[in-house]
Each structure stands twice: as structure tokens, then as C-alpha cells.
Amino acid sequence: MSKSFIIGSRGSELALWQANFVKDELASHFPDRVFEIKIIKTTGDEIVDISLSKIGDKGLFTKQIETALLNGEIDAAVHSLKDLQTTQPDGLTIGAVCKRELPGDALVSTNFASIDDLPRNGTVATGSLRRRSQLLNYRPDLKVVDIRGNVPTRLRKFDESSIDAMILAYAGLHRLGFDERITQLIPHGIILPAVGQGAVAVEVRSDDTQVLHDVAKLNDHFTRICITAERAFLRHLEGGCQVPIGALAVLDKDVLRLDGIIASLDGETVLRKSIEGRSDDSEKMGIDLADRLINMGAGDLLDRVRAAAEAVIR
């Protein structure tokens, strides 16, 4: 048991915060073990000047780390859950989902306290089609511009610009100590978060029973129920970074509420619905909600969104 336990991670400040959190949690359960972090650069880290919607999303921030895991170079991989594909590669599984941080988005602005306070025809920065479409549905007068980079980089770019506001995930700002930059926690009624936003996943090899046993100590049962419903919803819709899809599951005792949204790129068309059910039906609930949105016309909307995204890429 003296062999080091190697955790694979991206090298951004937020990724390393998450990896160190997992490392410290494991060390608290296994004080006699040695835990190390290995930084692995991903495609998403190398391409920082192109919109995510233009370069695709198939393992953009995970593929190289998952390859290292499959090759036995690392024992576990730590990811932002929202970056993971909804179906794991053969041989890999999510061994633990850590307790979720607040899953919503936050507004960053120097002069304006909320989205409602932004001036008519104001400018808002975001690198997410999901945020863009929902924001434009709520405030169609706003101009939305793209922004890429890790959290500190985006904050620096924002500070050096004349942009009125920027939208980032609350969890990333909070974990890196940037709470003072938050001017509004955006209500979920305005913008639903990404599937799995705010949750940290520990990915392991499916046949590594020892590591599966070890990382299970970090699993938060309630978070797992919620993200299972959200990921089933996204999987059934076959969505990703190129499609504006949001979802949020909230567990109250044994009642699970799942809210999902699909929007056009310009925000003019939005399909949104919520359902409630039992916590032990989370997977089925995600599929049921996706089917209900499909019956409302989500299939045609998704086809139009993908065609529009492809046209932009070309």
C-alpha cells in the first residue's frame, strides 16, 4: 500500500483546486497513503482563442486525461462533472461525485448590480451557448460577446475591456476566492445551469476494485441522485457544448424535481418543463423529461440548432 496514488488533472487554477480537494479528502480517509497530482494538458487547454461551439465538445477537456487513466499512468481522474461526456469510455466509470457547490451562474459587473440593471443594448461576455441563448430570451436587447480562458484569465480580460458584464459559474468563482467579484447570483428562472455544474467527479478504471472502494468514500449520495437525472436528460437529447441545453435537479427529502430547457441560439425559441418524482427514479426521470420536451418540438429545435452551429463552424 506504499505505492503513490496518482490523481490526473488539468492544470488550470480551478482544476487544481478540485484535484487538491479530492487529494485532501482521500488523505483524510487514508492517512498512511501517499497521494500525488499529475497535470495533463487537454485539447481544450491548448485551444484558447476559438469558441467551444466551433471546435466541438467530444472529450475536449477530458480525452487526454482519460487516455492516461486507461493506460495506467494515473489511478483516478478529477473533472468538473459538466465537462464529462454523458457516457463514459469503455473501461472507465465515475467512481464518486463529491458534494455539489451551488450550481447556478453568477453575474460579474463593475457598474451594474443585476441583469435587470444592465443598460439597453449593453454588452455581456460568456463562452457558453447555453448562457447566451437564455440571456437573450430574457433580455433580447443585449449584445453577447464570446470570451474564453480559465476563470482568472476571463476576469482579467473583462477588467481590460469596456464590456458591461460577464457570466461565469458561481462554483468556480467561489472556489477560487473571487466571491467579491459576484454582483448577482442569477436566478434559475432566468438561466438554468449546465448539467452537472458545480459538481466534481472522480473517474476511475471500471475493473480497479481497490480504487473504486477508496474513492467511494468521497461520494455524496444526494448529489449523485441529482446529477444522474440531469445526465440522463442530456444523454437522451444527445446534447453538448454546441447545443443550448440546461438542467437542474433538486432533491427535497425523497422528492426529486427536475427542470430542463432547450433553446435556439438566438434565444427566440425556448422549450422548458419540469417534473417531480421519487429519488430512486432519477435516471427514468431524466429520460421522461427529455421525451416530454421532444414531444413539445425539441427534436426539430435541436436539428435547427445543430445546423446553425455547423454553418458557423464552416
Active site residues: 83
Structural contact between residues 42 and 60, judged by C-beta atoms closer than 8 angstroms: yes
CB atoms within 10 A of CB 54: 14
Q: Rounded to the nearest 10 degrees, how much is the dihedral formed by the CA atoms of 181, 13, 244, 240?
A: -170
DSSP assignment of 47-87 equals --SS-HHHH--TTTTTHHHHHHHHTTS-SEEEEEGGGS-SS
Nearest to 158 by CA among 115, 191, 111: 111
CA–CA separation, 250 vs 252, rounded Å?
Answer: 7
CA–CA separation, 51 vs 46, rounded Å?
Answer: 13
CA–CA separation, 166 vs 271, rounded Å?
Answer: 24
Structural contact between residues 232 and 281, judged by C-beta atoms closer than 8 angstroms: no
- Cβ contacts of 158 within 8 Å, gap of 6 or more: 108, 125, 147, 166
Locate 52 and state its grid cell.
467551444
